């Protein structure tokens, strides 16, 4: 074999070795890189579950308006950066916790049997909505207080849904100018008001519910100008 052939063979062998090494490294890197996204998603879901569980306990144990992001992060065992990647503030954590319960009620308003769902007169549906919301507040008041403190409650997706529902009932009943009445109708459902009536005045949910049902009838009657 000539010197050139030997040099060519050596170069070819070296190239093959490089290709084999590069290929092996590529395979190893690919094996490491391929599951990164699913693993990150799994980590994010686990962190979110820890955050929500810890926050729900904090909201139940103390005034929800005093819960801070630092306390949530510490209770959940996650870093502040991890917490802020999922939620910007404590109310947003409470909104996420309350969301499942509110979605269930929203489904009943759309698809459920009357009087809560379609098929009953507007006055009966509004009264049934009030009673369902009182039940929601009774069972999940700490979350409602944490999620809807002050003016922030008007910017939640759930409040927007309640507005659409109430407006539909007002229009169905023939209320002449429904828009100004929507928030008047929703005002008695403020979590802060419910807390005051239940835990400071000591009113039962039954008494509040009876008054709310009467308010629903009077509101619709006045709206029609009768």
- Residue 198's pLDDT is what? 97
- Residue 110's pLDDT is what? 96
- Residue 60's pLDDT is what? 87
Distances (CA, A) of 21 to 24, 35, 208: 5, 22, 76
- Residue 36's pLDDT is what? 59
pTM of the complete model = 0.71
Q: What is the mean pLDDT of each run of 10 residues along the chain (226 residues)?
A: 48 45 46 60 87 91 88 95 92 87 93 97 96 95 80 82 97 94 95 95 97 94 71
CA–CA gap between residue 221 and residue 123 (Å, rounded)? 9
Helix runs in the chain, H state only: 3-33, 36-61, 69-76, 80-86, 90-111, 122-147, 157-172, 179-186, 191-195, 205-223
CA–CA gap between residue 121 and residue 191 (Å, rounded)? 27
- Domains observed in the chain: 42-88 (1.10.10.60), 89-220 (1.10.357.10)
């Amino acid at each position: 074999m000539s010197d050139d052939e030997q040099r060519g063979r050596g170069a070819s062998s070296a190239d093959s070795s490089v290709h084999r090494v590069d290929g092996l490294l590529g395979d190893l890197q690919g094996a490491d890189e391929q599951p990164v996204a699913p693993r990150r998603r799994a980590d994010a879901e686990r962190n979110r579950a820890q955050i929500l569980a810890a926050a729900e306990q904090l909201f139940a144990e103390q005034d929800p308006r005093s819960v801070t992001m630092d306390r949530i992060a510490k209770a959940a065992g996650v870093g502040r950066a991890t917490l802020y990647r999922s939620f910007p503030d404590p109310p947003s954590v409470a909104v996420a916790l309350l969301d499942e319960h509110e979605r269930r009620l929203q489904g009943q308003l759309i698809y459920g049997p009357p009087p809560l769902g379609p098929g009953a007169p507007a006055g009966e549906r509004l009264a049934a909505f009030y009673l369902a919301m009182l039940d929601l507040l009774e069972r999940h008041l700490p979350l409602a207080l944490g999620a809807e403190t002050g003016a922030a409650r008007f910017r939640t997706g759930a409040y927007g849904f309640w507005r659409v529902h109430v407006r539909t009932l007002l229009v169905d009943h023939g209320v002449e100018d429904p828009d100004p009445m929507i928030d008047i109708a929703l005002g008695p459902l403020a979590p802060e008001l419910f807390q005051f009536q239940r835990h400071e005045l000591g009113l039962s949910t039954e008494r509040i519910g009876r008054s709310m049902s009467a308010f629903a009838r009077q509101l619709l009657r006045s709206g029609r100008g009768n």
